Amino acid sequence: MVNLEKMRVPIEEVEHIARLAKLQLTEQEKERYSVQLGQILEYMEQLSKLNLKDVPPTSHILPLKNVFREDVVKESLPQEEALRNAPQKEGGYFKVPKALG
């Protein structure tokens, strides 16, 4: 029998991660993710068994170089178009609630 309690991510840590990720989780979700993240992370622990000491990391499979182009003005989305999907707008701006409570 696998001990699910032992694998749990502590609730305080779930809350910390949720704050970083800007997710206002319900109590039920915190409980669920505490158990599920624990199980998934436990599974991922298997990578620590690989001998990775001198292995270089792969962040990307292509030999990427910076792509440059001439700095010329091109057509862009008109303001009206760019604002078309905005939940709230005013005077050509996106409108959001105040930053400080």
Partner 1 sequence: MKLHLLPAHSLLALLGRGEVSAEEVVSSFLHRVEEVEGDLNAFITLFSQDSLTQAREVDKLRAKGERVGRLAGVPIAIKDNICVQGKRMTCGSRMLSNFVPPYDATVVRRLKEEGAIIIGKTNMDEFAMGSSNENSFFGPVKNPFDSQRVSGGSSGGSAAAVSAGEAPMALGSDTGGSVRLPASFCGVVGLKPTYGLVSRFGLVAFASSLDQIGVLTRDVEDCALLLEVIAGYDPQDSTSIDQHLPDLVLEMKKGIKGLRVGLPEEYFSPEVDPQVKEAVLRAVNQLTLEGVEVERVNLPHTTSAIATYYIIADAEASSNLARYDGARYGYRAQGTRVLLDMYSRTRNEGFGDEVKRRIMLGTYVLSSGYYDAYYLQAQKARTLIRKDFEEAFCRCDLLVTPTSPTPAFKLGEKMDDPLLMYLSDSFTVPANLAGLPSLSIPCGMTREGLPIGMQIIGPPLGESQILGLASIYEQVASKGRDGL
- The contact set with partner 1 (CB under 8 A) reads 9, 14, 17-18, 20-26, 29, 33, 36-37, 39-41, 43-44, 46-48, 50, 52, 55-62, 64, 67, 69, 77, 81-82, 84-88, 94, 96-101
Retrieve residue 94's tokens: 């996106």
Q: Using CA of residue 80, residue 84, residue 86, residue 88, what is the dihedral sign?
A: positive
DSSP state for residue 51 in the 8-state scheme: -
From 12, 14, 13, select the one nearest 33 (Cα to Cα). 14
Q: How far is the CB of 24 from partner 1 (least distance, A)?
A: 4
Which is nearer to partner 1, 12 or 43 (by Cβ)?
43
